[in-house]
Chains A and B, each alone.
Chain A
Amino acid sequence: MKEPCALLHNMSAPPKSVVKYEGLSGLARQKKLTYGASVNKHYGRPVRFYLAPQFACLSPVGMLAVLRPNQELLPGQDATKDLYSLINDHAQTLTLPDGCAVIKSDHAHSVVWDDPLSALAILTKCTETVWLRSKSPSLFSGLQRTAVSLLIPPNFISQLPEKT
């Protein structure tokens, strides 16, 4: 016996359509509307922070030696505590809003601060979705990744320093 034709098989089923979204500009194109707008994937400016893998695998003592080359750690001094204190102090100096959205890092995102301490101040104070200046730093969770991008809202972009 012959198998029924695949076309006949679904004749009673309602037609299927593909619903697609690639941003508002894409939707405008679909609708054949022209506004002359640029296609922005993000609202605001993404800024990338990264840590060199050689630095990321250092111990807190090793990190302090790189970040504070002229200051030796005294016997009995807690290196992690010192490092966290350094991170907290540096986080206060970054001209960012007190909280920012964390997005997937992309090499196309601009790097405004390329020093390891700034990267530490971001990576150790991030959750999966947000960076908070006032959050207690955590090396353990922060160094699970070596790069992250923050999405700076339009109101705060003017505060960013020129690209180094």
Chain B
Amino acid sequence: MKKVSALAPTIRDSDSPAFGAKGCLERLGLIGFSSIESPLLAALATGNPLLLIGAHGTAKSLLLTRIATALGLVFRHYNASLLNFDDLVGFPLPGKDGNLQYIRTPAAIWGAGAVIFDEISRCRPDIQNKLFPIIHERRVQGMLLEDLRFRWAAMNPPCTEDDDNGYAGSEPLDAALADRFALVVQMPAWADFTPSQQLEIIQAEDTPVDKSAAQNLQEAIARTCQIIESFELDFTSSAARYVQTVVALLSQAGLQLSPRRANLLFRNVLAVNAAALALDPDAAAAQSTLTALRYSLPQRAQGIPIPDIKLLAAHREAIRTANLDNADPLRAILCAASPLKRLQLAIQARKLSKQVFSGIVADCIAQLGPGAREASVAHLFESGAVGRLNAAVAAQAGEIYKDVATTPEFSITLHASNGRYRAWGRLKDLLSTLNPATPQAHLQANALAALFSKNMLSTPEDAQAAFESFADADKYLRCA
């Protein structure tokens, strides 16, 4: 297979003919799901827990029940908001040997191949805790549910304080429970459908699942499993490096992922790529990987916004560097958690191109807070590294440095009751601890005075924090 990007799947030679199962969900009577076809197929191939999030009436339950029917599964559909534990396991009864046994009701989970927990975000916390081991390890009361393969759940978008979306009863999922779902898939909304799909949905009728459509889905799952097994080492290694970088970049953007999530993301990247190839042999790896990333973030179930621009930026950078060697300084820079560390590594890596170096510096300047930002810019000028920047970023740095390297003289009249007046009092006390005989002390004093004059230090606490940030950053960069 030809390489299409830095992250291109290479598959060991296979005897199977080219297979394209594109539209396998549509053949099941599920309209408008082409954008989530590959993550759904990936979840079916791996058997990992799947969570669907969507507004009411977006066919979450229909989707899962039709898939279960097409796969010929014995499945249970529970409304988690009404669920009692007895509904799941039956009624407990002491056995002859003293062990607890359960009188199995037809609705109990025993013997099910798939389980759907609908409205999981409306579930009582005690029930949520009991669902946890079922979703995570296919166990109930410590007993393995041997027949259970698929664990699916569905919920409305969680209601948060900032966003009153109308789903007052839909609570954000507990972080640990959300992290157990390998794939967290956002359902397409009405506006995402094409006009013809909208018309098809309007006229849709409840019809039985077509046998050939069911077989098509089963073949697509089998093909996906086969492709996952055949991925060659260079692709899996690239995918691992992609995950390592993207996790670091998302963390820098404020989206923290657990080590378990990094592992799940890696498996999802492989599975979604395999599913995309099973659906369409010409599927682009970068797009499939972005799909895997988009639907691997548990924050969606916790009501934490995921800015698309941050996701795309992290993805593009990680794709670009997926083939770089582990010893490459750019990988170390991108994976460094703190902006100061990234800046320090970037200044040391003199072979970075002007464009890359400028991008890293611009990001660091944007991410650093008052005090640390000024100390970093001073270091760029003092080390001469500013000469490696492009004109736009250098000018931005120069604007900051102007107020650090030269004395920003000002005279402001303030009411004594004003918070800024108290901030200045604190700042004056802090600056008076500096020794004017030390040249660097002037830099620190100028930087903080400039921040004050620009209204960026409005409380004594702001002044203290900026003073300490400057000192810490300056010390860190000078020691480096």
B391: Cβ under 8 A from any A Cβ: yes
- CB atoms of B399 and A129 under 8 A apart: yes
Given A27-B431, A27-B432, A127-B395, decide whether A21 and B453 contact each other with a Cβ distance below 8 A. yes
| Contact present for B436 and A25 (CB under 8 Å) | yes
- The answer to whether B394 and A130 have CB atoms under 8 Å apart is yes
Interface of chain B residues 372 through 417 with chain A (CB within 8 A): 378, 380-389, 391, 394-395, 397-399, 401-402, 404-417
C-alpha gap A22/B386 in the complex (Å): 27
Q: Mark A120-135, 1 if CB is under 8 A from B, else 0.
A: 0000000111101111
**Does A18 have its Cβ within 8 Å of any Cβ on chain B?**
yes
Contact flag A154-B449 (CB < 8 Å), given A14-B416, A22-B409, A130-B395:
no
Query: Among the listed B383, B405, B432, which residue makes an inter-chain contact with A28, where contact means beta carbons less than 8 Å apart?
Result: B432
A40 surroundings in chain B (CB, below 8 A): 439, 442
Q: In the complex the two chains form, what is the Cα distance from A132 to B416 in whole Å?
A: 45
Q: Verify B436–A132 contact, CB threshold 8 A.
A: no
Q: How far is the CA of A98 from the CA of B414 in the complex (A)?
A: 42
Cβ of B445 within 8 Å of any chain A Cβ, yes or no, is yes
* Contact in complex: B416, A129 (CB < 8 Å): no
Q: Judge if B207 is at the interface, Cβ distance under 8 Å.
A: no
Cross-chain contact A21 with B410 (CB below 8 angstroms): yes
Residues of chain B contacted by A135 (CB below 8 angstroms)? 391
Question: Which residue in A19, A23, A155 is a CB contact (below 8 Å) of B407?
Answer: A23
CB-contact partner of B386 in A18, A31, A128, A130, under 8 A = A130
Q: Which residues of B contact A97 (CB under 8 A)?
A: 381, 384, 386-387
CA separation between A127 and B406, bound complex, in Å? 17
B167 lies within 8 A of chain A by Cβ: no
Task: Give CA–CA (A101, B403) in the complex, Å.
Answer: 11
Most buried by B among A16, A41, A132: A132
Residue A20, interface by CB 8 Å: yes
Question: In the complex, A47 Cα to B437 Cα: how many Å?
Answer: 23
The answer on a CB contact under 8 Å between B405 and A43 is: yes
Q: Known: A20-B410, A27-B428, A132-B387. Is A127-B416 also a contact (CB below 8 A)?
A: no
Chain B residues contacting A98 (CB-CB under 8 Å) are: 384, 386-388
* CB atoms of A153 and B381 under 8 A apart: yes
**Cβ-based interface call for A102 (8 A):** yes
> In the complex, what residues of A have CB within 8 A of residue B389's CB?
99, 132
- Given the complex of chains A and B, what is the CA–CA distance between A21 and B452 in angstroms? 10
Chain A residues within an 8 Å CB radius of B407: 21-23, 41-42
Instruction: List which A78-127 residues lie within 8 A (CB) of chain B.
Output: 97-103, 127
Q: In the complex, which of the residues A37, A101, A154 contacts B437, with contact meaning CB atoms closer than 8 Å? A: A37
Decide: A24 near B439, CB < 8 A? Known: A18-B413, A151-B406.
no
Q: Number of contact residues on B: which range applies?
A: 35 or more
Most buried by B among A41, A43, A44, A134: A43
Residue contact B408 to A16, C-beta cutoff 8 Å: no
Closest A residue to B400 using CB positions: A129
- Given that A14-B415, A21-B409, A42-B405 are contacting pairs, would A35 and B435 also be in contact in the complex, using a CB cutoff of 8 Å? yes
Q: Evaluate contact between B410 and A99: CB separation under 8 angstroms.
A: no
Query: Does B354 interact with chain A (Cβ within 8 Å)?
Result: yes
Assess whether A36 is interfacial by the CB under 8 Å rule: yes
Q: What are the residues of chain A within 8 A of B411 when measuring CB–CB?
A: 18-21
Name the A residues within 8 Å of B110 (CB-CB).
Answer: none
Chain A residues whose C-beta falls within 8 Å of the C-beta of B420 in the assembled complex: 19
The reply to whether B386 and A103 contact each other, CB–CB distance below 8 Å, is: no
B434 at the interface (CB under 8 A from A): yes
Decide: A19 near B424, CB < 8 A? Known: A33-B432, A41-B406, A97-B384.
yes
In the complex, which of the residues A17, A31, A101, A134 contacts B401, with contact meaning CB atoms closer than 8 Å? A101
Check B71 for interface membership: any CB of A closer than 8 A.
Answer: no
Interface status of B193 (Cβ within 8 A of chain A) = no
Q: Does A75 contact B (CB under 8 A)?
A: no
Quote the shortest CB–CB distance from B403 to chain A (angstroms): 10
Q: Which chain A residues border B445 with CB–CB below 8 Å?
A: 23-24, 27
**How many angstroms between the C-alpha atoms of A21 and B410 in the bound complex?**
5
Given A129-B398, A130-B395, does the pair A19, B431 have CB atoms closer than 8 Å?
no
A156 interface contact, C-beta 8 A = yes
Q: Mark B244-263, 1 if CB is under 8 A from A, else 0.
A: 00000000000000000000
The distance in angstroms between the C-alpha atoms of A42 and B415, with both chains bound, is 31
Tell me the bound Cα distance from A129 to B393 in angstroms.
11
Contact code string B350-383 (vs A, CB < 8 Å = 1, else 0): 0000100000000000000000000000101111
**B409/A23 in contact, CB under 8 A:** yes
- 14 sampled A-B residue pairs with Cβ under 8 A: A15-B416, A21-B408, A21-B410, A21-B452, A24-B441, A35-B436, A36-B437, A98-B384, A99-B384, A103-B405, A127-B398, A129-B398, A132-B389, A132-B394
* The 4 residue pairs across chains A and B that have the minimum distance between CB atoms: A98-B387, A129-B398, A99-B387, A99-B386
A residues adjacent to B (C-beta < 8 A): 13-25, 27-28, 30-31, 33, 35-37, 40-44, 97-103, 127-130, 132-135, 151, 153-156
Beyond A43-B378, A100-B381, A130-B386, 20 extra complex contacts between A and B, CB < 8 Å: A14-B416, A14-B417, A15-B416, A17-B416, A18-B412, A18-B413, A19-B413, A19-B424, A23-B407, A25-B442, A36-B437, A42-B406, A97-B384, A101-B401, A103-B406, A130-B395, A130-B401, A132-B387, A133-B387, A155-B382
